[in-house]
Amino acid sequence: MLEKIDQAASALARARKTVALTGAGISVESGIPPFRGKGGLWEKYDPMKYAHISAFEQRPDEVWKVLFSDLKTVMKKAGPNDGHHGLFRLEKMGKLQTVITQNIDGLHQKAGSSDVIEFHGTFATQSCTICQRGFITEQIDLAEIPPRCDCGGILRPNVVLFGETIGYDQLKRSQILASTCDVMLVVGTSATVEPAASLPVIAKRAGSYIIEINPEKTPLSYHFSDAILLGKAGSIMRKLVSALEDIL
Ligand code: NAD
Ligand code: ZN
């Protein structure tokens, strides 16, 4: 393992442009459960039933009750962990330009990362589904579910639900970064949710070195990853950053 971490660190040391792609796994140590993988919400219920736009359109009260209110509670308590801190540290060292995250929890920004592409939007704010008025999630009263705007419209988080399209600017910029980076650091994603899952593929085809951090192997591990660092995001990022500090 140490040898692999050293190889990954020297790829980072050589790189002129590094981009990170993160998924729900990087926030697990902050207390936010992922969908897939061990301990994931998928083990309790099928998120497609709740995290799909048609579920929200047909049964907004149920989606709020089962999914959104839980997320609100969990995210309120969560702070960044060593995975997020490690990526910020890489940025400070001039070794990471941008974080593309599939997460909606805002923890990269809380850790200090300055260029974060929120591929699936953010849970921190909500919009009225009728008049589009904006709300801060933490300030929403859940005494009545679903929560409503003064105009009567139901609120929804500003996230991309299954069945919805990724914002054009986020997708375009992420694809350009993927095709122009020397190293892509893929942390805590099962690499199965499209189109985010294609970003490492684009990067690899363009000649980029792929470093993957995950406790389990993923579809990427077999054909795309150059260095597979098996383990939790927090401890692996700590080791990777300190290996890089030794080289620089
Ligand atoms: P995912 O597809 O990215 O899968 C989670 C991955 O994290 C798995 O491969 C798992 O092995 C890995 N993992 C588990 N613990 C880890 C750890 N300690 N360190 C590193 N990796 C670890 O994500 P998903 O859960 O299938 O979610 C799909 C989408 O749902 C996300 O892309 C996001 O839009 C949304 N979601 C977001 C959050 C969040 O914002 N924190 C949480 C759940 C779901
Ligand atoms: Zn309204």
pLDDT digits (tens, 9 = 90+) for 180-221: 999 999 999 988 889 999 999 999 999 999 999 999 999 999
Same domain (yes/no): 2, 116 = yes
- Cβ contact 244:12 at 8 Å: yes
| CATH at 214 | 3.40.50.1220
Chain segment 28-58, per-residue pLDDT in tens: 999 998 876 666 666 777 877 889 999 999 9
Of all protein residues, whose CA lies closest to atom 43 belonging to ligand 1? 34
Q: Is the CB of 18 under 6 A from ligand 1?
A: no
Under 8 Å between Cβ of 119 and 196:
yes
CA 247 – ligand 1 centroid, Å: 31
193 lines ligand 1 (CB under 6 A): yes
Longest dimension (CA), the chain: 60
38 C-alpha vs ligand 2 centroid, how far in Å?
39
Residue 189 Cα to ligand 1 midpoint, Å, equals 5
Same domain, 95 and 199: yes
pLDDT tops 80 at residue 1: no
- The pTM of the whole model exceeds 0.85: yes
How many angstroms is it from 91 CA to the middle of ligand 1?
Answer: 22
Q: What is the pLDDT of residues 144-183, one digit of tens each?
A: 999 999 999 999 999 999 999 999 999 999 999 999 999 9
Extract the tokens encoding 171: 């997708």
Domain that holds residue 210: 1-31+80-120+167-248
Which residues participate in catalysis according to the annotation? 120
Among the atoms of ligand 1, which is closest to the Cα of residue 34? 25
Same domain, 136 and 189: no
Read off the tokens for 175. 């694809």
Angle, helices 198-205 vs 168-180, to 10°: value is: 30
Is pLDDT of 96 > 90? yes
Q: Decide whether any atom of ligand 1 lies within 6 Å of the 35 Cβ.
A: yes
Considering its fold, how many domains does the chain have in total? 2
Q: In this structure, are 194 and 241 located in the same domain?
A: yes
Which segment, 49-53, 62-66, 108-112, is predicted with the most confidence on average?
108-112
Q: How far apart are CA 32 and CA 38, in angstroms?
A: 13
Mark whether 45 and 127 lie in a shared domain: yes
104: which DSSP letter?
A: -
The owner of tokens 């995975």 is 83
Q: Are 207 and 114 part of one and the same domain?
A: yes
The neighbour count for residue 59, using CB atoms within 10 Å, is 15
Residue 155 sits in a domain whose CATH number is 3.30.1600.10
Whether residues 48 and 151 share a domain: the answer is: yes
Residues 189 and 241 in one domain: yes
Report the share of the chain in percent with pLDDT over 70: 96
Q: Which atom of ligand 1 is nearest to the CA of 218?
A: 9
Residue 85 has pLDDT above 90, yes or no: yes
Please report which confidence band the pLDDT of residue 66 belongs to, taking 50, 70 and 90 as the band edges.
confident
* Shared domain check, 243 and 179: yes
Q: 5: which 2 tokens?
A: 């971490």
Atom 40 in ligand 1: which residue has the minimum CA distance?
A: 103
**Is the previous residue joined to 195 through a cis bond, with omega within 30 degrees of 0?**
yes
Residue 122 has pLDDT above 70, yes or no: yes
